[in-house]
Amino acid sequence: MTPRRLILAQTSFLGDVVLTTPLWRALRDALPETEVWWLVRPDAAPIVVPLAGAGRVLVFDKRGGDGGPGGLARVAARLRALDFDVAIAVQRSLRTALTLVLAGIPERIGFAGAAGSPLYHHRVAHRGAHARDRLLALAAPLGVVPQPAPAPQLATDPAADAAVAALLGDAGVAEGEELLVVAPGAAWETKRWPAASFAALVRALVPGTFGRVAVVGTAGDRGHAAAIAREVDGVADRSPVLDLTGRTTTAELVAVLARAALLVANDSAPAHIAAALGRPVVSLFGPTVPAQGFAPLGAHVRVVERALACRPCSRHGSAYCPIGTHECLAGLRESEVAAAVRGLLGADAGAAPAPAGGVA
Ligand code: SF4
């Protein structure tokens, strides 16, 4: 029987949410009569609202107002009121499974071997080379097996587009100007290429290969932006470095990335977002490796990494390098990254990237 209303419970990091969009898209396309809703963390809502519409996105603030057993019960009550008939637990946590049980959702799908798997009616093997494919398998119990597998795809929010157009316009960035974007942040310290390396890269590329560079990230990344600004010479009184760290909402970050001629980022959420917008991406991998299945997916993505016996040393990165050298990223030279940037630009010449900001 075709579900009437289905919830995709994905309360993980932004990059994981981006890699879940192919599952959402497969369900939407194969089950047009089904309302497909999202349950996400507050920071991920602006990512999925342009896809599903604000009316089909629910927020689970598990680290904030919805924390603890009381918060779990409140979220379950919100789900119960909406009378979902199918739930897909994208995450492998017991908390997610308990929430879906308390919500009284009669058909629950999740991964075999997950902490909450005894609470699922359908247990799907966690197999596949890439997270996108592992997640897509969760649609199989509903008879949905898309061929070929859809790629991650995002759309921008029109209000955020307008805000970013104004922000860039005020900074003298013309519509259509080739804008390099760099995202020096990452969730874990060991996944960060050093600020001095980002600065040296920008000095090699701006001005010249690109006219301007925008640095995106949180307020905690301001040191990187300052280091880059110190390294890059201005033209007359105009610095080519636009510091947007701590100045954009998530929706505006997506809109900035949609304007990027190319993004250089660590193994982090901006790399996934820009790739899903069809933008060229050079992503720098250190303690993690693409073979773990979490690399950004897109037609214009290059991963730069060093061949070291210690890699990978963790699944998601860590606060400290276990061997104390951080040579995976500290030893990555800006000339190698600049070569990857120029190589990607050359490969893309004549083959225009997908239009930014839209979803079919
Ligand atoms: S152990 Fe190797 S891969 Fe891990 S952080 Fe250190 S240098 Fe990088």
If you measure from the C-alpha of residue 286 to the centroid of ligand 1, how many angstroms do you get, rounded to a whole number? 7
* CATH at residue 87: 3.40.50.2000
pLDDT computed for residue 348 by the predictor:
66
pLDDT digits (tens, 9 = 90+) for 118-164: 999 999 999 888 999 999 999 999 999 999 999 999 999 999 999 99
pLDDT at 237: 56
Contact 329, 194 (CB under 8 A): yes
Q: Is residue 178 part of a domain?
A: yes
Residue 135 sits in the same domain as residue 164: no
The predicted structure's pLDDT at residue 349: 63
**Residue 196 covered by a domain:** yes
Residues 218, 112 within the same domain? no
Q: Which of 286, 249, 253, 250 has its CA nearest to residue 267? A: 286
| Number of structural domains found in the chain | 2
Residues 288 and 324 in one domain: yes
Q: Are residues 293 and 224 in the same domain?
A: yes
Does residue 200 sit within a domain? yes
Check whether residue 339 and residue 201 sit in a common domain. yes
Q: Which of 284, 320, 323, 329 to mutate to test the pocket of ligand 1 (most atoms within 8 A of CB)?
A: 323
358 lies in some domain: no
Residues 183 and 102 in one domain: no
* Inside any domain, residue 79: yes
Lowest mean pLDDT among 29-43, 133-147, 180-194, 234-248: 234-248
Task: Mark whether 187 and 128 lie in a shared domain.
Answer: no
354 within domain boundaries: no
Q: Does some domain include residue 147?
A: no
Under 8 Å between Cβ of 14 and 273: yes
Please indicate, yes or no, whether the overall pTM of this predicted structure exceeds 0.75.
yes
Mutate to test the pocket of ligand 1, among 292, 321, 329 (most ligand atoms within 8 A of CB): 321
Instruction: Name residues contacting ligand 1 (CB within 6 A).
Output: 190, 286-287, 308, 310-311, 313, 321-323, 325-328
Domain coverage including residue 288: 158-348
